[in-house]
Amino acid sequence: MSNPIIESGNVAAAMAVQLARAEVIAAYPITPQTPVTEKLSELIAAGKMDAEYVAVESEHSAMAVCIGAASAGVRAFTATSSNGLLYMSEQLHWAAGARLPIVMCVVNRAIGAPWSVWNDHQDAISQRDTGWIQIFAKDHQEIVDMTLKAFRLAELVHIPVMVNYDGYYLSHTYMPFEPPDAEHVDAFLPAYTYKHALTPERPESLNTVTLPDARLDVDGIKRGGYMDIRHNLHEEMGKSIEVWEEIDQEFQALFGRGGHPVIDPYRCDDADVVIVAMGSMANQFRVVVDRLRQNDGLKVGILALQMYRPFPSAIIAEALQSARHVMVYEKGLSYGNQGALYGDIKSALYPYPARPRLHNFIAGLGGRAIPTESLYQTMKTACEQDLQTPSAQADAPQWIGLQL
């Protein structure tokens, strides 16, 4: 195993891509993603990484390059943030529909307008229905490990994977992490081979206009129409949860890290109240949970959601069954409705007759500071009031830190 180092989250991501031996890097700079691809370009220019770096004129083109590379059987990577992710939205759908195993780091940042370079999760949330697998890291070690596991997952299930981590809170802060040694990574992540790789010797026609109904191909084999193809993606995306868990088990055996690939619970076993969050806020809540237990005698736990798409409904429902209250804190929302994560959790719990009461909190949009003391006081008040008052559940989100 390698010795721990202290570096930024963006460098951690770049080192993971280097260890994964990605062969094509396509990128367009956007804050706070830029240092990821800058570091990769430096590694390639220094001869420390055998890859082709393609500097493009837009994020749309960056994903187009990755689509072309993956179609040719090459391991491809890109990274982006915020409006850059939205600019490649058309190509995100294409990559998923074409079943190409591309990995992309999304350094989460608020979406304009109004213009913001600060962190929230609205960029990833807005693209949750593109057919990409979405995972969220909460520290630098997870950025490294999740990126390596993402390449393995994408290439096994032939679905692209989006590795999300918080802009500035993780991308630019320095934390210790342990990069795996290259020999073990090579054993864990073998060279990528694609059975439909486009070559002059074996041409194929991929992603042509697809008719509504199934039809016979040139060999007389019945092939699905558009709806059948979409059904297959949906079904196989759901099955990728189990594959992700198996990958994590293998990773844990090799590197001694892992064990919580889908959800990461902290002090949830006896908790009356469980907080659910994604990204760095889930780490921040561990301090809050410890204080609530030690100072106030409140049985509170934090459940970090590591995989957001496909949504692990059964795993979430089982984990929350024994709680009386579930507090969903999130840095994104579905405008005019409620928090997107809150809605997903509510849907997962709906079939169960003994459901915990759900509460939705919106925090940190556009980089609005979320002081740990504020989270502590908010949780303390919510627990003391709601545990004593069995009022009807209200779907309206509570906004933390408004300054109006």
pLDDT digits (tens, 9 = 90+) for 250-272: 999 999 999 999 999 999 999 99
Query: Cα 84 to chain center, whole Å?
Result: 16
Name residue 78's beta-bridge partners: 104
Pairing relationship of beta strands 325-330 and 133-136 according to DSSP bridges: unpaired
Helix H, strand E, coil C: the string for 74-111 is CCEEEEECHHHHHHCHHHHHHHHHCCCCCEEEEEECCC
Which stretch of DSSP H or E encloses residue 222?
A: strand 222-223
pLDDT for 394 equals 63
The torsion angle over the Cα atoms of residues 330, 106, 126 and 101, rounded to 10 degrees, is -120
Q: What CATH architecture applies to the domain 263-400?
A: 3-Layer(aba) Sandwich (3.40)
Tens digit of each residue's pLDDT, the chain (404 residues): 568 999 999 999 999 999 999 999 999 999 999 999 999 999 999 999 999 999 999 999 999 999 999 999 999 999 999 999 999 999 999 999 999 999 999 999 999 999 999 999 999 999 999 999 999 999 999 999 999 999 999 999 999 999 999 999 999 999 999 999 999 999 999 999 888 887 888 777 778 788 889 888 888 988 889 999 999 999 999 999 999 999 999 999 999 999 999 999 999 999 999 999 999 999 999 999 999 999 999 999 999 999 999 999 999 999 999 999 999 999 999 999 999 999 999 999 999 988 899 999 999 999 999 999 999 998 998 888 766 555 545 678 999 999 98
Helix (H, G, I), strand (E, B) or coil at 167: coil
DSSP 271-327: -SEEEEE-THHHHHHHHHHHHHHHHH---EEEEEE-EEES--HHHHHHHHTT-SEEE
For 111-144, write each residue's pLDDT tens digit: 999 999 999 999 999 999 999 999 999 999 999 9
Residue 2: predicted pLDDT: 67
Q: What pLDDT does 231 receive?
A: 96
- Using DSSP bridges, classify how beta strands 133-136 and 161-166 pair: parallel, antiparallel or unpaired: parallel
Coil, strand, or helix at residue 357?
A: strand
- Domain-by-domain residue ranges, the chain? 5-188, 263-400
Which architecture characterizes domain 5-188 according to CATH?
Answer: 3-Layer(aba) Sandwich (3.40)
Single out the residue of 366, 367, 364 nearest to residue 401, CA to CA: 364
C-beta of residue 343 within 8 angstroms of C-beta of residue 313: no
State residue 1's pLDDT score. 55
99 within 8 A of 206, measured Cβ to Cβ: no
Task: List all residues 6 or more positions away from 173 whose beta carbon is below 8 Å from its beta carbon.
Answer: 8, 9
Encode pLDDT of 286-308 as tens digits. 999 999 999 999 999 999 999 99
Say which residues have a Cβ less than 8 Å from residue 209's Cβ, sequence separation at least 6. Answer: none
Q: What does the buried/exposed string (b/e) look like for 261-273 if buried means 16 or more CB atoms within 10 Å of the residue's CB?
A: bbbbbbbbeebeb
In whole angstroms, what is the distance from residue 159 CA to residue 103 CA?
9
Q: Give the separation between CA 215 and CA 399, rounded to whole angstroms.
A: 52
Pairing state of beta strands 133-136 and 103-108? unpaired
Cis peptide before 113 (omega within 30 of 0): yes
pLDDT for res 387: 62
Phi-psi category of residue 275: left, alpha or beta, with phi > 0 → left and psi -120 to 50 → alpha? beta
pLDDT at 206: 78
pLDDT for 32: 98
